[in-house]
Amino acid sequence: MAMNPNPPLVEPEYIERARKLGPALLADGMKALGDIKNDGVMEAAMLPVSPEMVMVGTALTVDTDNGDNYPIHLATYSGGEGYVMVIDGKGYQKRAYLGDLIVSAAAAVGYEGIVCDGCVRDRNGCIELGFPVFSKGFMQRGPIKKDPGSINTEVCCGGIAVTPGDLVVGDCDGVTVVPCARIPEVLEKAEEKARYEIVRRATIQRY
């Protein structure tokens, strides 16, 4: 098993700026850099268990498969305030990777959210906890606990490469990931787009 140290947290200033922008404007910021191979946008199926959920934080990654949540348990107690657990579950649909028990534990240790490339369960319980959980759907069959997987290695989640330390932002539109090395320039481009939209809306309202 690869269990690497947690990455440095994204600078608080960047977190607050990203919180004001959201995943859509950050996706515009990524697009403005001209990288057609990676615009940071996870697949459309990656949505919150409840639309009001908002998540901003630093990626702490988990690599697993076949509905096995043993490494997710390990990662839950390895993280803390400022991190988003990003789980590469290979889109597995036959078992849930987690439910409200892991969600409550993640909330207790200070995680900012969970993104799971696969299914979760206990939807009502997760909603009651009010903790941001993003997944590709729901499955009532429980997980297995067998293989150690890996923690804090590069993964592919929702069709996007995610490196520990990347900026992860989600809301009802979906999830956008900004590579840690490009955060300042992406924020700048996204803020430019936000200013443009303010002017554009004011123009529209005049008609």
Q: Can you give the pLDDT at residue 32?
A: 85
Q: Can you give the pLDDT at residue 201?
A: 80
Q: Can you give the pLDDT at residue 204?
A: 77
Q: Can you give the pLDDT at residue 116?
A: 98
Conformational region of residue 83, where left means phi above 0, alpha means psi within -120 to 50, and beta covers everything else: beta
Output DSSP code: residue 192: H
Report the chain (207 residues): mean pLDDT per 10 consecutive residues: 89 98 96 79 97 98 98 95 98 98 98 98 97 98 95 97 98 97 96 88 77
**What distance in Å separates the CA atoms of residue 136 and residue 152, rounded to the nearest whole number?**
21
Q: Can you give the pLDDT at residue 37?
A: 67
Output the CA–CA distances (angstroms, integers) from residue 140 to 7, 82, 94, 137, 147, in the order listed.
33, 29, 9, 10, 21
pTM: predicted TM-score of the whole model, two decimal places: 0.95
**What distance in Å separates the CA atoms of residue 162 and residue 156, rounded to the nearest whole number?**
6
Q: Can you give the pLDDT at residue 206?
A: 74
Given the structure tokens 């997760």, which residue do they identify?
A: 126
